[in-house]
Every structure is written in structure tokens, then in C-alpha cells.
Amino acid sequence: MRRIRSVCAVWEVSLSDAVYKVEFEHGTTTGKRVVYVNGQEVLRRDWMFRLVGSESFPLGLTGTKAVIQIQALEGFSYEYSLLVNGLTLQKFTQNRSRTTQTWFLVLDQVQYRMVFEKDTLDVWCNGQKMLSNSEFVEDGSQTRFVIGEHEIVLKAFTEQQQQKGRRGITYCLLVDGAVICS
């Protein structure tokens, strides 16, 4: 017999290794708390006397710290929020958009999600941290790695931006020499 879940909050968290769906079940009379990540139960607390508080759990291959905060509102209603690495999900997502670049592509009829971490120069492909080689070149830097039979190059170069004459870094993906820019 399959148990029906009464999920009261759902979030999606994009990390370098994958996009995770976090679901939270809260028993407002028993205090029960259950956390599911991608459908798998990762935390369960039954019969808690405190109905508010927080629950921490690791998220993703790198064990990113996630915390669900439970706050009481008027009456018997509650507000749930997710913190990732100490930041609200919104702030965490904004920060990730500045520090990572993501590409989706199909090679040999297989779909790939590639994430480049700008601050560490790490490359993730479909949940695996790739062995890569980074080097400075005349017009910027290149990070090279291989997927199957394909040579992948992530190029980073500085270019003049239209807004207020600022210079910005542009990231471009090359697959077997063919340019796929973001």
C-alpha cells in the first residue's frame, strides 16, 4: 500500500551536480517533520512537541547545507522557508547566477547539463565533477575536458559591454571546435 504524503512546501535548488526538488511535510498537530529530496526521504522526526523551529540536512553530492525554517503565523498556520548555505533560496539563486554558467547540449543523442563554477574553475557534467585543464591564453582563459569522444573547451574572455563602458567576462563553449555561446 502506497502512503500518501501531505507535503506543505516544495522548492527547487540548482546546484552544480544537479537540480534538486526539496519537499517538506509538517504535521501541525504532532510536530512530525519529513524532508524528501528528489522523492527520497532524507530526514524524519516524529512526535515533536515544538511545532516551530528548523531542520538541517545535506543537499547534493558536496553536502551543501540546507535548512528549513518553520515559523508560526496567526492561528494555526505556518510559514516555511529554505536556506541554502545560510542564504535564502532567492539570494542563493542570485549568487549562483553570478558565480556559475550552465549549458544544456546533446552529444551523440545524450543530453548533458554542464555547469562551470567561475570562482573555482570546476566543471560539472551530469552530476560528475570533470577532470579539466585550465590555462591562460592571449585573449583570456580556456578550460579543457573530454566527454566521450568530444573535446570541450570553455573560453572566458573580456569584452567591452555597452552599459556605462564597463568590461565584462564572456563565457563561450566550444564542442570539437564548434562555438556554442551563452
**Residue spans per domain, the chain:** 7-85, 100-181
| pTM listed for this prediction | 0.85
7-85 and 100-181, same CATH topology:
yes
Nearest to 34 by CA among 52, 7, 58, 61: 7
The CATH number that domain 100-181 falls under is 2.40.128.180
Q: Burial code of 49-85, b = ≥16 C-beta within 10 A, e = fewer?
A: eebeeebeeebbeeebebebebeeeeeeeeeeebbbe
The topology under which CATH files domain 7-85 is Lipocalin (2.40.128)
What string of pLDDT tens digits covers the 182 residues of the chain?
556 678 999 999 999 999 999 999 998 778 889 999 999 999 999 877 778 899 999 999 999 999 999 999 987 789 999 999 999 999 999 999 999 999 999 999 999 999 999 988 899 999 999 999 988 888 888 999 999 999 999 998 887 555 555 567 888 999 999 888 76
